[in-house]
Amino acid sequence: MAQLLFIIIIVILVADFGLERCLAYLNIKQSGKELPSVLRDIYDPEKYLRQQNYFRTNSRFGMLTSSFSFIVVLIMFAFGGFSWVDGLVQQYIQSPVWTPIIFFGVLYFANDIISIPFEWYDTFVIEQKFGFNKVTPKLFVLDKLKGYGMTLVLGGGILFVIIWIYTLTPTYFWLLAWAVITAFSLFMTMFYSQIIVPLFNKQTPLGEGELRTEIEKFAAKTGFKLDNIFVIDGSKRSTKANAYFSGLGSKKRIVLYDTLMDKMTVQEIVAVLAHEVGHYKHKHTLINFLITMPYTLLLFFAFGFILQSDAFAQALGGTVASFHLNALAFSILYSPISLVLDIAMNVLSRKFEYQADAFAARYGYAPELQSGLKKLTATSLGNLMPHPLYVFFHYSHPTLYQRITKLS
Ligand SMILES: [Zn+2]
């Protein structure tokens, strides 16, 4: 049984890497194709060359990083690396709760540290070369340290509670753990903007001026409160622009990047905001949350069942069932199912984007949204011709071409 599980794990890892490489290859081939006429005004020939160069640079870099991590993970699984780390941790700590936490902590930090050179190169070489980067080495280090602190407190805390529940009651673990995770994610959905975002960015209420006046006019028509609109200092890290909707109920907010302000006209920003209000009006955050609930229940049910099996630990070179080795084996064996669910969530998310676009169009913002989306893509040197299969697997938003066509 353990032997079979081991083989399945290796097959899944190789198949997943193969699939991702195929999709990336198709995407690169597609990017060189001739543009449809509605997209030709986005880049002038010189800028289009620059975009192609940026896209290819990123694709090559993605190939390098994913191959590197694939090899590391494969070696760890194939040569019992995880049971070796387990043995190392057990030399110092033998506790049903703390051994798994330290085990995952060691893996998290080891993984993070070996990926630092890649992140550094991406930020200070690639993004820098194409004029996007605003991160200083000091900010890079500071962000890393804050990220570690957050993982220690939040990740460590939630892991502690989950494992502790398992030691109390393996039988009802799945139900209780699910309840804890659901409550935690509800809390994070509500308070993410107030607790997490301020650690990294400054959010300020929309200031007086033409933009505020125009937004006020629009907000009055739709009943969206103006004090839920914030401007974030995205320019601290990148020149790329964005906007998003987050939160639930009274904690909802629309966040506009300050980088939008100098790239778009007032009407285009209102159009982007109208799109975000569309997400709110159609209750997309709530629907996403409600869909995730039964899915996580199923996940924990399967997980609770597998936690007691010795074979899962043995597949990674262990001897008897242990929370962390079983969890690790489970995470790989479950990944084909989560791949299918991720695709389903992306299909739904793309549907939501069309709904939000249609909402903006209903208020007469279709032309401004079209030109606004074009500018957003142009300023981030976005890829105009992704491969349909790549879109199907990975895109949470429809392509620019699809959105513009639908808005016409
Ligand atoms: Zn959207």
**239-275 residue pLDDT tens:** 999 999 998 888 889 999 999 988 899 999 999 999 9
Asked whether the beta carbons of 193 and 247 are under 8 A apart, the reply is: yes
State the alpha helices, DSSP H only, in 256-322: 258-261, 266-281, 284-306, 310-314
Asked whether the beta carbons of 305 and 298 are under 8 A apart, the reply is: no
Residue holding tokens 């903007």? 193
Residue 227's pLDDT is 81
> What confidence tier does 115 reach under pLDDT thresholds 50, 70, 90?
very high
Picking from 165-179, 211-225, 313-327, 356-370, which range would have the lowest pLDDT averaged per residue?
211-225
Pick the catalytic residue from 122, 353, 357, 368: 357
pLDDT digits (tens, 9 = 90+) for 165-208: 999 999 999 999 999 999 999 999 999 999 999 999 999 998 88
Asked whether the beta carbons of 230 and 204 are under 8 A apart, the reply is: yes
CA–centroid distance, residue 348 to ligand 1 (Å): 12
CA–centroid distance, residue 336 to ligand 1 (Å): 27
Q: How far apart are CA 321 and CA 307, in angstroms?
A: 7
Q: How far apart are CA 263 and CA 396, in angstroms?
A: 24
Amino acid letter, residue 225: K
Q: Is the pTM of this model over 0.85?
A: yes
Residue 152 has pLDDT above 90, yes or no: yes
CA–centroid distance, residue 18 to ligand 1 (Å): 31
Residue 224's pLDDT is 85
Determine the average pLDDT of the residues in 120-127: 98
Q: How far apart are CA 320 and CA 94, in angstroms?
A: 14
Cα distances (Å, whole numbers) of residue 47 to 53, 130, 330, 344:
10, 11, 46, 35
Q: Put the strands of the sheet holding 229-232 in their side by side order.
A: 203-205, 229-232, 253-257, 243-246
Strands 229-232 and 203-205 come out as antiparallel
Residue 193's pLDDT is 92
Q: How far apart are CA 161 and CA 87, in angstroms?
A: 23
Q: Angle at CA 311, nearest 5°, toward 309 and 317?
A: 125
CA–centroid distance, residue 352 to ligand 1 (Å): 7
Q: What is the 3-state secondary structure (H, E, C) of 94-115?
A: CCCCHHHHHHHHHHHHHHHHHH
Asked whether the beta carbons of 230 and 205 are under 8 A apart, the reply is: yes
CA–centroid distance, residue 388 to ligand 1 (Å): 20
Cα distances (Å, whole numbers) of residue 19 to 9, 75, 78, 132, 290:
15, 19, 20, 30, 30
Long-range contacts of residues 19-22, Cβ cutoff 8 Å, at least 24 apart:
20/66, 21/63, 21/66
Annotation says 276 is catalytic: yes
Residue holding tokens 């909402």? 359
Residue 219 has pLDDT above 90, yes or no: no
State the alpha helices, DSSP H only, in 122-155: 128-129, 137-150
CA–centroid distance, residue 354 to ligand 1 (Å): 8
Residue holding tokens 């080795």? 325
Can you tell me whether residue 36 is helix, strand or coil?
coil
Asked whether the beta carbons of 121 and 57 are under 8 A apart, the reply is: no
- Distance, CA of 176 to chain centre: 26
Pick the catalytic residue from 122, 268, 276, 353: 276
CA–centroid distance, residue 357 to ligand 1 (Å): 8
Residues with CB under 5 A from ligand 1 (ion): 353, 356
Residue 297 has pLDDT above 90, yes or no: yes
Q: How far apart are CA 328 and CA 47, in angstroms?
A: 45
CA–centroid distance, residue 59 to ligand 1 (Å): 25
pLDDT digits (tens, 9 = 90+) for 2-50: 999 999 999 999 999 999 999 999 999 999 888 999 999 999 999 999 9
Which helix (H) or strand (E) covers residue 205, if one does?
strand 203-205
State the alpha helices, DSSP H only, in 170-209: 173-195, 197-200
CA–centroid distance, residue 30 to ligand 1 (Å): 25
Dihedral, CA atoms, 130, 350, 371, 382, nearest 10 degrees? 10
